[in-house]
């Protein structure tokens, strides 16, 4: 059975062609990466917990993905990254000038 489209009041038969090149698979989370500025590596080197690195990489990736727009950072996201509510990792990022905050 053929498919048809109507253009300018005329019925035109349409044939679907197979693509010679397969579609690229959609990137999964495992395929994505973050480029880290070396100054961040130096500043994070003195950290006591892997949560600092996770938070830094999360902020860096989402800053890039949002084209520099503000990023919402909730307690749920911090928990997923392994950063407890009582920990002051966010405060340490503010202290070194890596992030700015605004309360909403």
pLDDT tens, residue by residue, 16-75? 888 888 888 877 777 777 888 888 888 778 766 777 788 888 888 888 888 988 888 787
Most confident of 2-16, 19-33, 66-80, 81-95: 2-16
Alpha-carbon distance of 101 to 1, in angstroms, equals 60
**Sign of the CA dihedral 80, 71, 29, 25?**
positive
Question: Does 104 score more than 70 pLDDT?
Answer: no
- pLDDT of 69 reads 87
């Amino acid at each position: 059975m053929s498919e048809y489209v109507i253009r300018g009041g005329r019925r035109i038969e349409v044939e679907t062609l197979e693509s010679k090149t397969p579609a690229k698979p959609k990137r999964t989370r495992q395929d994505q990466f973050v480029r880290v500025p070396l100054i961040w590596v130096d500043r994070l080197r003195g950290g006591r917990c892997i949560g600092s690195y996770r938070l830094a990489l999360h902020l860096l990736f989402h800053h890039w993905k949002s084209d520099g727009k503000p990023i919402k950072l909730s307690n749920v996201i911090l928990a997923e990254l392994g950063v407890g509510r009582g920990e002051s990792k966010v405060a340490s990022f503010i202290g070194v000038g890596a992030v700015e905050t605004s309360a909403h």
